[in-house]
Chain A
Amino acid sequence: MARASLDLYRVEDLLTDEERLARDTVRDWVEARVMPHIEAWAWEGRFPRELVAEMAALQLLGATWTEYGLPGLSQVGYGLVLQELERGDSALRSFVSVQNSLVMYPILTWGSQEQRDRWIPSLARGEAIGCFGLTEPDFGSNPGAMRTRARRVADGWVLNGEKAWITNGLIADVAVVWAKDDSGSVAGFLVERGTPGFAAIDHKGKYSLRASVTSQLSFSDCLLPLSARLPLANGLKCPLSCLTQARYGIAWGALGSALAMYHAALDYARTRIQFGGAPIAAHQIIQERLVWMANEITKGQLLVWRLGRLKEEGRATYVQVSQAKRNSCWVARECARLAREIHGANGIVNEYPVMRHLMNIESVYTYEGTHDMHTLILGEHLTGIPAFLPPCQGEP
């Protein structure tokens, strides 16, 4: 019983039957299993861990791969799945993004056969949860300056350092951790829960992504076996390519949040009576806001659809992914604000989904490359000049 969803440019016709069915299945599931409870979960600050098994049964974990009997969903189909999850709440989409793009992807891409056999099936079944440690308390946009170190010792590696803003950290069975080795090159390690010297603690006081687990990881002389290293991962480009995968999903997911806000605002504007018995949707100033939302969402839908097809052909670039992530998160952030305005005072209470999305999207706008960093990635692409590493002033 899927609800209607904005589609002014018949993007529906650009999808395959499988993609539509995957989307509608997840939309129905979110409607039945998430929407009745999400305001309470967000209020309590609780991640609905009991839904992990259900998401695994739907095969959302590892959806795009074919190894290990995984479903082999198209990139557009996967994007639509994430759109529907984030239409529910950014926390759910974040969980799936991390498990797929930041944990299963690096293990499948750079892991040993043993690492893949050990983790991929259980991550797909939701029996194991993963997290990804790249960002540090002092290094967010500039991960290349990370302080976490992996020192080679006779029988393994010794990890020291701190990671921050780690989705799933506290509940993870395995952490994909990036650290500099003795030569200063970035290497990846699989750190299992319970390894001595490894601890995760909660980030307290979040007003955003409240139904998601966000943690700090600390490594204090944490001894890892030699087999913990991802043997084929070599250099900062590896974690950055994980981020490109995740950003692709966020580009779709954020539009799901924007759609939720648009439909909430439309419903409210049609039924809220003010000034002489007419719904506020009769006012030009309200229509202008709804049109702005619908217009930007439509452009965003066409952008992510095209990006997905390029990705399926192996032709999507990280610059295109940055552009789409930047655009979708900006559109979603503006839509949440406009929906809040249309809802008036009702926009701040949890009887409506607006404030929850509005607070969530601040994280989504910032994580996986801030809006500004994606601006600079595009800027570098256009000008050839990396503004985040400006040429020294005064040099000829």
Chain B
Amino acid sequence: MNLCVLTAHVPDTASVIKVGAAGNRIDETGLKWIISPYDEYAMEEALKLKEARGGTVTYITYGPARAEAGLRECLARGGDAAVHVKGGEATFGDALAVARVLAAAVRKTGTFDLILVGVKGVGSDNGLVGAMVAELLDIPHVAGVTKLEVGEGSLTAHREIEGGAEVVTAPLPCCITAQKGLNEPRYPSLKGIMAAKKIPIQALSVADLGLDEGTLAGAEAGCRWRALSLPPAKSGGTIIPGEEDPAGAARQLATLLREQAKAI
């Protein structure tokens, strides 16, 4: 089966994030970039399906020049081809613009039985791109998948919902977004790392897809990031001494949780 994995290259989750001078972008100076961790679940699932069923795995990303390193890292774990749509600075954070580019790239690249995406790109955390790509391609999607079984012409996906689990069947071709728990992503092997550099990465511009990045980021923008700010520093917290009267301390804690924090 032909599998397509859409990946995003995001700041390492261990990074210290600073707001850039413009006020609506992060400061990228000195950041280390990684494959978005949820995309790793999508990738692992695609590789497992390929190993079980045969076929190909194609990675597609939309991002600046540095995103090529992310594609190499994907290829190091396995997979057959990679497409790099260059750009993304102007459309940063606009899930619809990103989805329009990725959907066009999928169409241009080939016909796929299954498209796999991380449930969200770590950092912007919108959780929109996968569903939007499916909509633009006019195929069904299942979001937040934690277990996947692919049959002939259809799939069964388990997804977490509030307070329970939902089991969904959908016809192929389909798009799923991968949630933590779907699998345990593998580490790339050294041989995979060495082999990945020999696989050509197809570079495309947004214009090659019949789209105009300026228009996507301008007249047709789905959203614009106006301002970013860091969360306020945490306060010191309240310590309730409990050694002399544990029962009283517990009562006091419960009262504070209910009346002050409104947590219970």
Roughly how many angstroms separate A70 CA and B187 CA in the complex, as a whole number? 17
Q: Are A59 and B32 in contact (CB under 8 A)?
A: no
Residue of A nearest to B37 (CB): A1
Q: Is A375 an interface residue when CB atoms closer than 8 A count as contact?
A: no
Q: Is B135 an interface residue when CB atoms closer than 8 A count as contact?
A: no
Q: Are B187 and A28 in contact (CB under 8 A)?
A: yes
Residue of B nearest to A77 (CB): B190
Q: Are A69 and B34 in contact (CB under 8 A)?
A: no
Q: Are B191 and A60 in contact (CB under 8 A)?
A: no
Q: Is B159 an interface residue when CB atoms closer than 8 A count as contact?
A: no
Interface set, chain B 184-234, CB cutoff 8 A to A: 187-191, 193-194, 196-197
Minimum CB–CB distance from A88 to chain B (whole Å) comes to 15
Interface centre among B12, B73, B187, B196 (most CB of A within 10 A): B187
Q: Are A21 and B72 in contact (CB under 8 A)?
A: yes
Q: Are B13 and A21 in contact (CB under 8 A)?
A: no
> Which A residues touch B187, using CB under 8 A?
25, 28-29, 57-58
Q: Are B189 and A63 in contact (CB under 8 A)?
A: no
> Which B residues touch A69, using CB under 8 A?
191
Chain A 361-374 interface 0/1 with B at a Cβ cutoff of 8 Å (1 = within): 00000000000000
Q: Are A71 and B12 in contact (CB under 8 A)?
A: no
Q: Are A18 and B197 in contact (CB under 8 A)?
A: yes
Interface set, chain A 66-81, CB cutoff 8 A to B: 69-73, 77, 81
> Which B residues touch A37, using CB under 8 A?
none
Q: Are B14 and A57 in contact (CB under 8 A)?
A: no
Please pick, from B12, B69, B189, the residue contacting A17 in the complex, using a CB distance under 8 A: B69
Minimum CB–CB distance from B54 to chain A (whole Å) comes to 22
> Which A residues touch B72, using CB under 8 A?
17, 21
Q: Are A22 and B193 CB-contacts (below 8 A) given A17-B69, A29-B187, A58-B187?
A: yes
Q: Are B193 and A18 in contact (CB under 8 A)?
A: yes
Chain A 208-227 interface 0/1 with B at a Cβ cutoff of 8 Å (1 = within): 00000000000000000000
Q: Are B189 and A1 in contact (CB under 8 A)?
A: no
Q: Are B197 and A1 in contact (CB under 8 A)?
A: no
> Which A residues touch B73, using CB under 8 A?
21
Minimum CB–CB distance from B106 to chain A (whole Å) comes to 26
Q: Are B188 and A25 in contact (CB under 8 A)?
A: yes
Q: Is A204 an interface residue when CB atoms closer than 8 A count as contact?
A: no
Q: Is B76 an interface residue when CB atoms closer than 8 A count as contact?
A: yes
> Which B residues touch A29, using CB under 8 A?
187
Interface set, chain A 48-64, CB cutoff 8 A to B: 57-60, 63
> Which A residues touch B14, using CB under 8 A?
1-4
Q: Are A25 and B193 CB-contacts (below 8 A) given A2-B32, A17-B72, A58-B187?
A: yes
Please pick, from A4, A57, A71, A81, the residue contacting B194 in the complex, using a CB distance under 8 A: A71
> Which A residues touch B12, using CB under 8 A?
1-2
Residue of B nearest to A62 (CB): B190
Minimum CB–CB distance from A312 to chain B (whole Å) comes to 14
Interface set, chain A 221-278, CB cutoff 8 A to B: none
Roughly how many angstroms separate A201 CA and B115 CA in the complex, as a whole number? 56
Give 28 pairs: A residue, B residue, CB < 8 Å, sorted on A. Answer: A1-B12, A1-B13, A1-B37, A2-B32, A2-B34, A4-B14, A17-B69, A18-B193, A18-B194, A18-B196, A18-B197, A21-B73, A21-B76, A21-B188, A21-B193, A22-B190, A25-B187, A25-B188, A28-B187, A29-B187, A58-B190, A59-B190, A60-B190, A63-B190, A69-B191, A71-B190, A73-B193, A81-B190
Other 15 A-B pairs with CB < 8 A, given A4-B14, A18-B197, A59-B190: A1-B37, A2-B32, A17-B69, A18-B193, A21-B73, A21-B76, A22-B190, A25-B193, A28-B187, A63-B190, A70-B191, A71-B193, A71-B194, A72-B194, A73-B190
3 cross-chain pairs, A with B, having the tightest CB-CB distances, nearest first: A71-B190, A59-B190, A71-B191
